[in-house]
Amino acid sequence: MRTLQVDLGERSYPIYIGGGLLGRAGEFFEQHGLAKKSPVLIVTDDHVAPLYLDTVTKSLSEQGYRVVSKVVKAGEKSKSLEVFEDVMTAAIEGGLDRHSAVVALGGGVVGDLAGFVAASYMRGVSFVQMPTTILAHDSSVGGKVAVNHRLAKNMIGAFHQPKMVLYDVDSLQTLPIREVRAGLSEMVKHGLIWNAAFADWCRQHTADLLALDPEALGYGLTQGCSIKAQVVSVDEREQGLRAILNLGHTLGHALEAIGGYGEFLHGEAISIGMAAAAKLAVNRGRDLSIYEETVSVLKGFGLPTAMPQQHDEHAIIAAMMHDKKFKEQQLVFVLPVEIGKVEIVADVTLDEVRRVIAELKEEGQHV
């Protein structure tokens, strides 16, 4: 087991990464002093519940915890206010009180949803992340929680740090391959924004990672979590540095929204977004190799890097204008400077974006 620490003063917490951890959940709960008298609510989805809910429930129960659970439908559409309300109902009916904990058992969808429930149930209760996707190495760290608004992604949320992250890498073995690829997209992102050597390592270990080789996976996830934790420790509430984590997300979020949160997986959308950011940087004078290398590593993982033909630029741009990153007719973008290093620019014009969209649509036609 590897342990990382997210340093946030009194809100600091550990990330445990290893095998067999879900079956030891009760032990970790006790060790972290989570209240036994108050019910614990596990939030999970209908893909994860049949696989891992019993294991966690059993472990917690054996340690003397009272457990209630709420299973939501799998998929991004569950990150809605409607489902949020359903989970709240389960929390109230389950008798959760101020000393209760809410557990997210699942991927980033369940994490973001359950996290916002934990942030706002009775104005805030304890929160524990038990990520079960590769993508969630990103989403489970850093305390950003949210649900989507029909018009824009992650629009309604909070900063609410977990008490701990219990990352059982064994659970990743049951992931569908499309989810594996999508999750690796955020891992690559962590290399691209922070550490060229790690980006290169990802490229060299593409096959091992796709094959879910435990050694490679353990190393890659630890690196990814560690980069995320470092960035968040410097800037918890995104006043500055933290924004670099949004590489690929300006366009990615727009694609998710216009796809009705069902067409693209988050990791797929930001893969296209990262390709677009690299292209934009090149159009602004950076070396062409940045775009080529970005696209090459992403394609290696079977991720999309061309713009989908079926959405016109107007729809994409309209969605971007609703994003948190739009201000005064200009867009904030994270752009690569070189592999492993990015900058935040706040003056990207709609024309530049239109050009990149057109160029990445072109790419699509050559495939």
Ligand X SMILES: NC(=O)c1ccc[n+]([C@@H]2O[C@H](COP(=O)([O-])OP(=O)(O)OC[C@H]3O[C@@H](n4cnc5c(N)ncnc54)[C@H](O)[C@@H]3O)[C@@H](O)[C@H]2O)c1
Distance between CA atoms of residues 280 and 296, nearest Å? 16
Distance between CA atoms of residues 339 and 180, nearest Å? 23
Q: Is 136 in the site for ligand X (CB under 6 A)?
A: yes
Token representation of residue 257 = 């929204």
178 is catalytic: no
Segment lying near a second copy (by CB under 8 A), choices 59-67, 121-129, 227-235, 312-320: 121-129
Segment lying near a second copy (by CB under 8 A), choices 161-169, 172-180, 270-278, 321-329: 321-329
**Least separation, in Å, of the C-beta of 149 and ligand X?**
13
Within 10 angstroms of residue 151's Cβ, the number of other Cβ atoms is 11
| Residue 182 or 216 with smaller CB distance to ligand X | 182
**Least separation, in Å, of the C-beta of 151 and a second copy?**
5
Distance between CA atoms of residues 258 and 263, nearest Å? 9
Contacts (Cβ under 8 Å, ≥6 apart) of 174: 51
Q: Is 156 in the site for a second copy (CB under 8 A)?
A: yes
Q: Is 179 in the site for ligand X (CB under 6 A)?
A: yes
**Contact criterion met (CB below 8 Å) for 360 and 307:** yes
**Contact criterion met (CB below 8 Å) for 108 and 45:** no
Contacts (Cβ under 8 Å, ≥6 apart) of 56: 22, 25, 42, 103, 105, 130
* Three-state secondary structure call for residue 149: strand
| Residue 79 or 279 with smaller CB distance to ligand X | 79
The pattern of x and - marking residues 218 through 257 that bind ligand X according to CB under 6 A reads: ----------------------------------------
| Residue 122 or 337 with smaller CB distance to a second copy | 122
Contacts (Cβ under 8 Å, ≥6 apart) of 50: none
Segment lying near ligand X (by CB under 6 A), choices 15-23, 30-38, 47-55, 336-344: 47-55
| Residue 214 or 355 with smaller CB distance to ligand X | 214
**Residues at the site binding a second copy, with contacts judged by CB under 8 A:** 37-38, 81, 84-85, 88-89, 92-93, 97-98, 116, 119-124, 144, 146, 149-152, 155-159, 237, 322, 324, 326-328
Positions marked active-site: 123, 144, 186, 228, 238, 242, 246, 249, 253, 266
